[in-house]
């Protein structure tokens, strides 16, 4: 302590350095896997016939590495570095910081081992098996405690906008992650999610879409609000824009998930909510872009020379582009073209490469010289990185636009006679081969730029020494008291109006004719009253908000309320109406033991990464694959397998379409039955034997979840299992194939051959859509 | 940098966070219009489709569309006769078109030279599901699900199936010219 009662605060910069190095390392790994799987799509030979190197197993590794390992570590770097400075407080606990760091890295290593081994839950970005899921939750809670504890003992009265975004990130990711990973273990390495069919689909995309929102967007916006004005040395453009876009963003984002399920069997009201909330999301997203870009006013001359600002300016611009494209793709009719195609993948990469990776690069270039007390090794190399990266992104995204729109148009196109213009799915796949090459090239260039950055930063680090920032905080500014009590923060006009409007809007949407009319009138009236009240009492409201910013706990609770609303209103009706689910005259056939085993192989091999099991209510889909999917047809699917991408055709009604021998040869060498296919071969399915012993506990768990398996003893199950295997093997023998009935491929064929079978044994026969 | 100077005269907020200052500028009007406009659109869209119940489930919608498609397709003409198919099989242009369709869709099971494999041999003298041109046409259109022959009718359509039949007939000497010609 110094003479004037001042306190010396030494920041924990060591943890920041470690997280940054981890982010760079995992970034390279994640992108390398990305380039490999992009090349596998162009050249199937690159699957090498090795199980743990096939596309279906590596694609989850790529997404998990890019999201959780790369952006995760990058986010922790930025949050830990900037929060200490914005609160003028050292991180609350060194111990928790290190538990956080090593825990997270171990989880990543665990993921990098389990995913290639085929240990997966098959829910996108939620593939990790349950022991790792628990580890993620524990470490996330450690992170949350460390962060909120720091806020609680902060030496800065008011919370800066970056902190708001960090709070929203931590709370919402915890909520999403926990709900979407609820499951019942069947063994140490396997479990079934507690949701099935449409419920699982809805929960998955509530999670999946908001992983993009609250893992890839809000933390990076917080990082933008700290590092961009720092690097530009300009004030942030507009405080009130920050307020409006923050609250509208966190409230609206959560509702948009169902836009991943447009034109599927998802109930129409949910599809509509997904679409209209996505459209409403456009302005809040652009609010962030505007505040970033307009902060650069007066600093644009520096953007010309400073690579850091180049990365930030381009990153924020890509954010704006991707958040315009998102609402566009969420429009039903646009989505009927774009869904299941490369367009979606291109959209995601405009965000992850353009926004996440460029913001990361800008931040790393800014941080490294400061954390190691030296100058950047080479501005020129950073400049080259920028341009290589930029060309890489543009090649990638342009290739995906062309590929997505081309295949989408071809596959949907119907001739005037009412038949498919391109009946062979592979015709569409092979028409975009050059785009697949261009995409791999674009990704490769981007990776090259990133490696260049690693080299540049490595040289910078070698030239410097770790430095730790120490500041003096005046004694009178320590340990700020909270500005508002919880009651004061909740019982306030802005909060009450907002809650009332949401309540009335829900009543409008969900209740009968008379009460919904009343609710509609009340909703509009409340909105008008709120606007009039604000024009009179606006100054008092902003005073209240200033005091809310001095209260971390009430602020966090209000954020939780804002993000929880959408999910509850969308998901709970579907969960509680389980008994009354509209089966739409189609109930699913209950799997036999061998089929269930085959289904778990389907999940293990990541077939869902290229094949959907959901025929959309679109003419092209119905002509190609049969009657559109119904809710009842996947009620026993834990997890659901609707998929999100068609590199291959939809499989939901492929059962019984081809003989067993066709599938046998197709798994052995896809090109023998499908000329020009880019599907990998699966030789190990012919060597590995199916292990019946795992089944009884799996069936037990599924019965708990409500699947009506008939009462069978373990011995009877075994008998059924073996008998069906022998039956298929005998059928193959007739076609001249000798294979032992206990091989995995037999189980997989059993599963594939029942796809589309209903409880009545037939697919739904409605209208005249069957010849 | 006139623009920048002018902005510097705007009032900054009193609070400084680690050296970062904030303006409190008005939100751009066009941005506010976008925000409110999207909200108004959302209310109207919901009101029209769900409140006023103009929304039909997707699977009902698509069935109607397909029905209409097939009506107009049927109006296009009746199924071809033996004679028509035979005549097509003597037309090199039709046979070539049929060959292309065969190579894209049928070759995997029936072989490069129609010698069979997973599917039946198409060059021999045995026709398991009937050997007249219209029998072949019907087998392709309706499929033989028990034997693993897919339904090609809604996928390929009458025109392309006729071309394939013409191609197959042209390769199989057992199929004779129908008597009525």
Q: Which of A346, A244, A225 is nearest to A293 (CA)?
A: A225
**Of B51, B66, B92, which one is at a domain's C-terminal end?**
B51
Residue B43 in any domain: the answer is: yes
Closest chain B C-alpha to A646 CA, distance in angstroms: 18
Q: Do B46 and A283 touch (CB under 8 A)?
A: no
Give the C-alpha separation, A133 to A114, whole Å: 12
Residue B157 in any domain: the answer is: yes
Phi, psi of A645 (to 5 degrees): -150, 140
Give chain B positions within 8 Å (CB) of A279.
38, 41-42
Give the C-alpha separation, A70 to A64, whole Å: 9
Q: Report the SS3 class of residue A389.
A: helix
Give the pLDDT score at A563.
95
Phi, psi of A423 (to 5 degrees): -65, -25
Q: Report the SS3 class of residue B20.
A: strand
Per-residue confidence band for A374, with pLDDT thresholds at 50, 70 and 90: very high
Give the pair of three-digit tokens for residue A554.
Answer: 């009430």
Q: Do A415 and B27 touch (CB under 8 A)?
A: no
Same domain, B92 and B154: yes
Give the C-alpha separation, A332 to A344, whole Å: 14
Same domain, B47 and B89: no
Which candidate in B11, B59, B159 is best for mutational testing of the A interface (most A CBs within 10 A)? B59
Give the C-alpha separation, A299 to A304, whole Å: 9
Residue B67 in any domain: the answer is: no
Same domain, B31 and B107: no
Q: Report the SS3 class of residue A518.
A: helix
Contact A208, A125 (CB under 8 A): yes
Residue B76 in any domain: the answer is: no
| Residue in A with minimal Cα distance to B63 | A767
Give the C-alpha separation, A695 to A717, whole Å: 9
Handedness of CA A153, A159, A162, A168 (dihedral sign): positive
Give the pLDDT score at B66.
85
Query: What percentage of chain A has pLDDT greater than the value 90?
Result: 86
Closest chain A C-alpha to B169 CA, distance in angstroms: 22
**CA-based max dimension of chain A:** 95
**Of B10, B36, B51, which one is at a domain's C-terminal end?**
B51
Please count the other Cβ atoms lying within 10 Å of the Cβ belonging to residue B169: 26
> What is the DSSP-derived secondary structure letter of residue A668?
H
Residue B6 in any domain: the answer is: yes
Chain segment A8-59, per-residue pLDDT in tens:
999 999 999 999 999 999 999 999 999 999 999 999 999 999 999 999 999 9
Give chain A positions within 8 Å (CB) of B100.
none
Same domain, B98 and B154: yes
Give the pair of three-digit tokens for residue A561.
Answer: 């309320």
Give the C-alpha separation, B87 to A747, whole Å: 47
The verdict on whether omega for the bond into residue A639 sits within 30 degrees of 0, i.e. cis, is: yes
**What ipTM was estimated for this complex?**
0.91
What does each C-alpha distance from A431 to A396, A619, A624, A752, B54 come to in angstroms? Answer: 17, 22, 18, 27, 39
Phi, psi of A611 (to 5 degrees): -125, 130
Residue B126 in any domain: the answer is: yes
| Residue in B with minimal Cα distance to A244 | B27
Give the number of domains in chain B. 2
Same domain, B44 and B88: no
DSSP of A101-152, one letter per residue? Answer: HHHHHHHHHHHHHHTTTT----STT--S-HHHHHHHHHHHHHHHHHHHHHHH
Among B22, B28, B141, beta carbon nearest to A235 = B22
Contact A725, A733 (CB under 8 A): no
Using alpha carbons only, how large is chain A's radius of gyration in Å? 27
Q: Do A419 and B73 touch (CB under 8 A)?
A: yes
Same domain, B36 and B98: no
Q: How many CB pairs under 8 A join A and B?
A: 220
- Residue A678 CB-half CA count within 13 A: 26
Q: Lowest-pLDDT range, A110-124, B17-31, B90-104?
A: B90-104
Give chain B positions within 8 Å (CB) of A235.
12, 20-23
Which candidate in A222, A273, A278, A283 is best for mutational testing of the B interface (most B CBs within 10 A)? A283
Strand partners, A184: A192
**CA-based max dimension of chain B:** 100
Task: Count H helices and E strands in chain A, helices first.
Answer: 31, 4
**Average pLDDT taken over every residue of chain B:** 84
Residue B63 in any domain: the answer is: no
Closest chain A C-alpha to B175 CA, distance in angstroms: 26
Q: Which of A608, A610, A615, A609 is nearest to A586 (CA)?
A: A615
Give the pLDDT score at A407.
97
Same domain, B41 and B101: no
Which candidate in B9, B15, B16, B22 is best for mutational testing of the A interface (most A CBs within 10 A)? B22
Same domain, B105 and B166: yes
Same domain, B45 and B86: no
Mean pLDDT of the region A490-516: 91
Among A156, A659, A769, beta carbon nearest to B63 = A769
**Average pLDDT taken over every residue of chain A:** 93
Give the pLDDT score at A766.
41
Give chain B positions within 8 Å (CB) of A275.
45
Task: Tell me which residue range forms the domain holding B146.
Answer: 82-171
Give the C-alpha separation, A278 to A286, whole Å: 13
Same domain, B41 and B94: no
Same domain, B114 and B156: yes
Chain segment A600-627, per-residue pLDDT in tens:
999 999 999 999 999 999 999 999 999 9
| Residue in A with minimal Cα distance to B54 | A268
Q: Do B25 and A279 touch (CB under 8 A)?
A: no
Per-residue confidence band for A137, with pLDDT thresholds at 50, 70 and 90: very high
Give the pLDDT score at A385.
98
Q: Do B72 and A297 touch (CB under 8 A)?
A: no
B107: CATH: 1.10.760.10
Same domain, B122 and B164: yes
Q: Do B38 and A85 touch (CB under 8 A)?
A: no
Mean pLDDT of the region A545-569: 93
Residue B69 in any domain: the answer is: no
> Domains in chain A, start-ordered, CATH in brackets?
15-465 (1.20.210.10), 486-580 (no CATH), 593-753 (1.10.760.10)
Per-residue confidence band for A399, with pLDDT thresholds at 50, 70 and 90: very high
Give the pLDDT score at B6.
47
Give the C-alpha separation, A490 to A496, whole Å: 7
Give chain B positions within 8 Å (CB) of A330.
none
- Tell whether the model's pLDDT for residue B4 goes beyond 60: no
């Amino acid at each position: 302590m110094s003479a004037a009662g001042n306190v010396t605060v030494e920041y924990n910069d060591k943890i920041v350095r470690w997280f940054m190095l981890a982010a760079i390392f995992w970034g390279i790994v994640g992108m390398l896997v990305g380039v490999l799987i992009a090349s596998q799509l162009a050249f199937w030979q690159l699957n090498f016939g090795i199980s743990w190197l096939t596309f279906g197993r590596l694609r989850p590794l790529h997404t998990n590495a890019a999201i959780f390992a790369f952006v995760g570590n990058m986010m922790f770097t930025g949050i830990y570095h900037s929060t200490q400075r914005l609160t003028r407080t050292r991180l609350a606990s060194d111990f928790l910081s290190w538990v956080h760091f090593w825990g997270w890295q171990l989880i990543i290593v665990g993921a990098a081992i389990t995913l290639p081994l085929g240990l997966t839950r098959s829910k996108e970005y939620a593939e990790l098996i349950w022991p790792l899921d628990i580890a993620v939750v524990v470490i996330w809670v450690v992170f949350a405690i460390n962060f909120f504890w720091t806020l609680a003992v902060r030496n800065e009265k008011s919370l800066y906008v970056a902190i708001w975004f960090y709070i929203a990130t931590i709370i919402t990711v915890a909520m999403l992650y926990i709900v979407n990973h609820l499951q019942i273990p069947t063994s140490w390495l396997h479990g079934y999610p507690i949701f099935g069919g449409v419920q699982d689909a809805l929960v998955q995309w509530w999670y999946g879409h908001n992983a993009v929102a609250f893992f890839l967007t809000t933390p990076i916006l917080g990082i933008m609000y700290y590092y961009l004005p720092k690097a530009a040395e300009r004030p942030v453009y507009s405080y009130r824009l920050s307020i409006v876009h923050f609250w509208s963003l966190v409230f609206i984002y959560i509702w948009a998930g169902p836009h991943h399920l447009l034109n599927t069997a998802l109930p129409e009201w949910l599809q509509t909510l997904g679409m209209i909330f996505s459209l409403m999301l456009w302005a809040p997203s652009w609010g962030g872009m505007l505040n970033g870009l307009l902060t650069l006013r007066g600093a644009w001359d520096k953007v010309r020379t400073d690579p850091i600002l180049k990365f930030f300016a381009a990153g924020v611009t890509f954010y704006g582009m991707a958040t315009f494209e998102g609402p566009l793709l969420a429009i039903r009719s646009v989505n009927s073209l774009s869904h299941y195609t490369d367009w979606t993948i291109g959209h995601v990469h405009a965000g992850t490469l353009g926004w996440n990776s460029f913001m990361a690069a800008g931040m790393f270039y800014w941080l490294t010289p400061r954390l190691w007390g030296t100058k950047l090794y080479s501005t020129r190399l950073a400049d080259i990185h920028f341009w290589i990266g930029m060309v890489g992104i543009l090649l990638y995204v342009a290739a995906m636009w062309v590929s997505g729109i081309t295949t989408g148009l071809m596959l949907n196109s119907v001739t005037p006679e009412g038949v498919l213009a391109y009946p062979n799915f592979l015709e569409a796949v092979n028409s975009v081969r050059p785009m697949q090459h261009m995409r791999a090239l674009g990704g490769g260039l981007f990776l090259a730029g990133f490696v260049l950055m690693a080299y540049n930063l490595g040289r910078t680090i070698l030239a410097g020494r770790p430095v730790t920032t120490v500041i003096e905080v005046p004694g009178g500014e320590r340990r700020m008291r909270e500005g508002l009590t919880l009651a004061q923060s909740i019982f306030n006009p802005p909060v009450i109006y907002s809650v009332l409007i949401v309540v009335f809007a829900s009543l409008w949407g969900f209740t009968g004719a008379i009460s919904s009319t009343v609710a509609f009138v009340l909703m509009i009236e409340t909105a008008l009253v709120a606007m009039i009240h604000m024009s009179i009492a606006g100054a008092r409201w902003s005073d209240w908000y200033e005091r809310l910013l001095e209260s971390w706990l009430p602020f966090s609770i209000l954020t939780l309320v804002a993000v929880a609303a959408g999910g509850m209103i969308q998901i709970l009706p579907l969960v509680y109406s389980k008994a009354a689910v509209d089966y739409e005259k189609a109930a699913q056939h209950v799997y036999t033991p061998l089929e269930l085993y085959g289904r778990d192989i389907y999940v293990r091999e990541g077939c869902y990464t290229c094949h959907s099991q959901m025929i959309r209510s679109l003419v092209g889909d119905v002509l190609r694959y049969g009657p559109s999917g119904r809710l009842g047809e996947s009620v026993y699917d834990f997890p659901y397998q609707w998929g999100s991408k068609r590199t291959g055709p939809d499989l939901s009604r492929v059962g019984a379409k081809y003989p067993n021998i066709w599938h046998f040869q197709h798994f052995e060498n896809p090109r023998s039955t499908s000329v020009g296919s880019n599907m990998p071969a699966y030789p190990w399915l012919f060597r590995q034997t199916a292990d019946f012993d795992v089944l009884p506990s799996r069936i037990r768990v599924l019965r708990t979840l409500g699947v009506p398996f008939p009462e069978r003893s373990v011995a009877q199950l075994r008998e059924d299992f073996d008998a069906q295997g022998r039956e298929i093997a005998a059928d193959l023998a007739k076609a001249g194939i000798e294979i032992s009935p206990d091989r995995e491929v037999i189980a997989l064929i059993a599963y594939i051959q029942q796809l589309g079978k209903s409880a009545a044994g037939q697919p739904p026969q409605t209208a005249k859509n069957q010849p | 940098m006139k623009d920048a100077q002018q902005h510097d005269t705007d009032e900054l907020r009193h609070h400084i966070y680690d050296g970062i200052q904030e303006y409190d500028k008005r939100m751009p009007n066009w941005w506010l219009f976008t925000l409110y406009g999207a909200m108004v659109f959302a209310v109207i869209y919901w009101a029209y489709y769900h409140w006023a119940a103009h929304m039909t489930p997707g699977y009902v919608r698509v069935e109607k569309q397909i029905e209409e498609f097939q009506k107009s397709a049927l109006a296009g003409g009746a199924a071809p006769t033996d004679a028509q198919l035979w005549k097509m099989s003597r037309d090199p242009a039709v046979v070539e078109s049929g060959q292309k369709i065969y190579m894209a869709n049928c070759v995997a099971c029936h072989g490069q030279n129609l010698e069979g494999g997973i599917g039946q041999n198409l060059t021999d003298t045995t026709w398991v599901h009937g050997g007249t041109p219209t029998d072949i046409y019907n087998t392709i259109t309706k499929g033989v699900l028990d034997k693993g022959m897919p339904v090609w009718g809604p996928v390929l359509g009458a025109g392309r199936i006729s071309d394939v039949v013409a191609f197959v007939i042209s390769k199989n000497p057992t199929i004779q010219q129908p008597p009525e010609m």
